[in-house]
Amino acid sequence: MSEKQSGSSRRRFLQGTGVAAVSAGLAGCSGEGDSETETTEESTPTEDQTPTEVGDAEDIPEGGIFNFGMGTAPNTLNDLASSSAYVGVITDRIYESGAAIDPVNFEMHPNVFTDWEAEVLDETGETDQPNVEIGFDVRTDGLTWNDGTEFTVDDVIFTYNYLLEQNPGGFAASLAPIESVEEGDDRDCLMTLNQPNGTFAYDQFGLPILPRHRWEDVDDYQTYEPADTDFGPVGLGPGVVTQYNPDTSVEVSFAEREGEYNLSDLDWRSEVPGVIPGGPFVDAMRIRVYSSQSALHQALFEGDIDTLYENIRTSRIQDAEDSDRLELLDGFDTGYGHYSFNTRRTPLDDTAFRQVLGFAYDDVYWTEQLQRGYAQEGDFVMPPGYTAVRPETDSDQEVLEGSATQAFSFRQTSPSVPDVEGIRSFLTEGQIITGEGGTYVGQEYPGSLTGVTAGQSEPKHDYSFGSVESDVLVNADEEPDQEIRIDGELLTDVHDGPLTMLLSPAQEAPQTAQMVDDWISSLRQIGIPVDREVVSFNTRVQRAYGSEDFDMFTMGWVNLSPFATNTLYSLHHSDNADDHSVAESEGDDDNTDTLLNNPMGYGVFEDAGADDLIDEARTTLDPDERNQVSRQAVERIYLDFATMVTGYEVTKWPVNSADWTGFVENIPGPGSTYLGTQILQVHRNE
């Protein structure tokens, strides 16, 4: 799967290649408690996971240089001014945040903040007024900035107020609910939110803590470059930047902080399976930047680097498996690949029609043939690793198992041959999968897992099939015998031409191009006139997310929040959709050019949306209740089918296991999203 974007509230884009990924370190919420008050101490994870077994920290050999490769240069060391994932590889070793998430159980744990307590002030949930107060204590004992300066509570208060004043774009969503942060009476600090936010520890406590002595004279964060200062970026983290050639190489030294960094010694780390406390154990991390993916991979195989950012290319997996030096660590996808549909346009405005698009998508061809088994069939907008917010959890089903997750799977008469007649009948008979159990196009569906139903209870249009008339189908190699009519008219008349799928050039994403071809072929066999338009990644982003000038497009998301609420809000809430009622500036059409994450327009119209559920999930403080509502929202989105999840990657992170050990596997994004965990505990083999 290629061409993905980061779905975190703080977006870090993979630059240059057009592929996007990973943000680091936005923390989430944990702890027991009711909806009124939530207190978190250094908590104990309880989930039963099976990550890599590790030894005791005392036995771990220290030292060595860990060599890391990237395909894009980190252009700045200013964490506030950049959303680049590659910048995060460095700055995440420098800056720390109030709370930390463990990558195994997704529980929030104390980090710079030792504990916190949230109190709801306003039960109405109205925004724009003091609504929730969060008191928290700050760990000052033994914490110093990496330039040796003493860390104080004042730095924390400065950080929040500085961020609120400057409002950097990458942190906008996390800063928006914060009303104020000031010194507290009972607690070190008091944060006031203008709306309840169940994942405040992930969102608001995940912001990087800045040293006042470095930032207070910075009037405009955008023009500040820490690399130009005498020391480099100053943070509470374990690293010090000792070499910075942004175009080619960077060195982050951990030896410089020996005996000074103690956040990796916190009790909770020793209680999370697979996590070793006490790191980092390497002297330094050296980052080499290569200009092409080929050069990067070759450097890995030649032994110039010990690992690389992200996963290995599918085409090189066999080489890695044959290597004596390399090992492939399994991990979960942090997002999903998708085809999304513009619900503003007929007939894509009809859930029944959109569901038919799912019936024509041959999942097995994608996962088994094109992805050679390194992909899982897609269903919900939450990847399989995030079980707590997957609808299966409501009915204790195995993830990705069971027919409730197969509602829109490929309908075929024989392998790879679409069930043309069955699918046509689904439309002509006015069927729609609302969430109620039944048999749809020859396949049993047991009903929704969480009890939700689709926004529509019946199709919006009358569908029929007649003679083939549109040019697309007349000239199609598939030679369909019938063509669809929508309310008695040709689709090409109603829609002003065939439906068009935007996709990348085949040389950039060959498997995707093949899959789209196969899908279009199936749709044409059914009698639906569909065409393709090849455009570059950036053009597609602009067409889809900027001007919503598309019918259908293919892309992907990575780095979704394990707590779901941020992701659901950002990608599927109508707040993040352009309803084409407002012009961005005078003289423009009623369509803003702002890149909005919900180009489908999902939730803009009454008959397809999950706004209520998403809003409820976002403002629910109790984790169990919040997850339950999130699961409902996830299933509602599935049934409404404005986005078709095409698959999840089976991630393979290549590492030099001949020289290094201590990596955690079976976590999401082992070499990207949770790279910080790996760096803290990688160490030399005996």
Partner 1 sequence: MTRISGTYLAKRLVVSYLTLLVIMTLLFVLLRSMPGSFISSMITSGMTAEQIEQIRETWGLNEPLWKQYLDFMINYQTGNFGRSPTYNAPVADLMIRRMPRTLILFGATFLIGFIIGPLVGMYLGWWRGTKKDKSIFSTSLLLYSMPSFWISWLFIWVFNYEFNLLPSAYMFTQFPEFQWTAVTVMRDVLYHIALPIMSLTFIGWVGAMLIMRPTMNQVTDEGYVFLARAKGLSERTVMIKHAARNALIPVATGAVVGLAFLIDGSIIIENVFSWPGMGQIIVSSVLERDFPVAQATFFLLAVLVVIMRLLTDIVYTYLDPRIKFGESE
Binding residues vs partner 1 (CB under 8 A): 9, 11, 15-16, 18, 65, 72-73, 75-76, 78, 81-84, 167, 169-170, 172-173, 176, 222-223, 225, 243, 245-249, 251, 286, 288-292, 294-295, 298-299, 302, 537-539, 542-543, 546-547, 570, 576, 584-585, 593-597
> Is the Cβ of residue 288 or residue 485 nearer to partner 1 in the bound state?
288
> Is the Cβ of residue 21 or residue 173 nearer to partner 1 in the bound state?
173
- Kindly calculate the radius of gyration of the chain based on its CA atoms and give it in whole angstroms: 25
DSSP 539-584: HHHIIIIIT---SEEEEEEE---TTSHHHHHHHHSGGGS--S-S-S
> Is the Cβ of residue 121 or residue 172 nearer to partner 1 in the bound state?
172
> Quick check: 113 and 138 in contact, CB under 8 A?
yes
Q: How far apart are CA 237 and CA 212, in angstroms?
A: 15
For the bound state, the minimum distance from the C-beta of residue 177 to partner 1, rounded and expressed in Å, comes to 11
> Is the Cβ of residue 30 or residue 78 nearer to partner 1 in the bound state?
78
**CA angle (163 as vertex; 158, 168 as ends), nearest 5:** 160
| CA 520 remoteness from chain centre | 27
Q: How far apart are CA 389 and CA 383, in angstroms?
A: 9
> Is the Cβ of residue 529 or residue 603 nearer to partner 1 in the bound state?
603
> Quick check: 164 and 192 in contact, CB under 8 A?
no
Q: Say whether 67 sits in a helix, a strand or coil.
A: strand
For the bound state, the minimum distance from the C-beta of residue 368 to partner 1, rounded and expressed in Å, comes to 31
For the bound state, the minimum distance from the C-beta of residue 110 to partner 1, rounded and expressed in Å, comes to 27
> Quick check: 160 and 181 in contact, CB under 8 A?
yes
Angle (deg, nearest 10), helices 351-359 and 623-640: 80
> Is the Cβ of residue 575 or residue 624 nearer to partner 1 in the bound state?
575
Q: How far apart are CA 74 and CA 227, in angstroms?
A: 11
Tokens of 121: 């002030």
Handedness of CA 382, 383, 388, 393 (dihedral sign): positive
> Is the Cβ of residue 129 or residue 222 nearer to partner 1 in the bound state?
222
> Quick check: 9 and 74 in contact, CB under 8 A?
no
> Is the Cβ of residue 260 or residue 304 nearer to partner 1 in the bound state?
304
Residues sharing a CB contact under 8 Å with residue 398, sequence separation 6 or more, in sequence order:
392
Amino acid type, 501: M
- The C-alpha torsion from 488 through 490 and 495 to 497, rounded to 10°, is -170
> Is the Cβ of residue 424 or residue 573 nearer to partner 1 in the bound state?
573
| CA nearest neighbour of 328 among 104, 655, 684 | 655
Q: Say whether 180 sits in a helix, a strand or coil.
A: strand
Residues sharing a CB contact under 8 Å with residue 265, sequence separation 6 or more, in sequence order:
277, 278
For residue 661, count CB atoms less than 10 angstroms from its CB and return exposed for 0-12, middle for 13-18, buried for 19 or more. Answer: buried
For the bound state, the minimum distance from the C-beta of residue 597 to partner 1, rounded and expressed in Å, comes to 5
Tokens of 406: 């197969």
For the bound state, the minimum distance from the C-beta of residue 350 to partner 1, rounded and expressed in Å, comes to 26
> Is the Cβ of residue 439 or residue 585 nearer to partner 1 in the bound state?
585
For the bound state, the minimum distance from the C-beta of residue 243 to partner 1, rounded and expressed in Å, comes to 7
Q: How far apart are CA 647 and CA 290, in angstroms?
A: 29
Cis peptide before 418 (omega within 30 of 0): no
Residues sharing a CB contact under 8 Å with residue 411, sequence separation 6 or more, in sequence order:
359, 360, 418, 419, 422, 423, 441, 442, 443
For the bound state, the minimum distance from the C-beta of residue 22 to partner 1, rounded and expressed in Å, comes to 15
> Is the Cβ of residue 167 or residue 270 nearer to partner 1 in the bound state?
167
For the bound state, the minimum distance from the C-beta of residue 654 to partner 1, rounded and expressed in Å, comes to 18
Q: How far apart are CA 425 and CA 446, in angstroms?
A: 20
Cis peptide before 280 (omega within 30 of 0): yes
95 backbone dihedrals φ, ψ, rounded to 5°: -100, 150
> Is the Cβ of residue 264 or residue 504 nearer to partner 1 in the bound state?
504
> Is the Cβ of residue 186 or residue 324 nearer to partner 1 in the bound state?
324
For the bound state, the minimum distance from the C-beta of residue 173 to partner 1, rounded and expressed in Å, comes to 3
> Is the Cβ of residue 52 or residue 598 nearer to partner 1 in the bound state?
598
> Is the Cβ of residue 288 or residue 461 nearer to partner 1 in the bound state?
288
For the bound state, the minimum distance from the C-beta of residue 183 to partner 1, rounded and expressed in Å, comes to 27
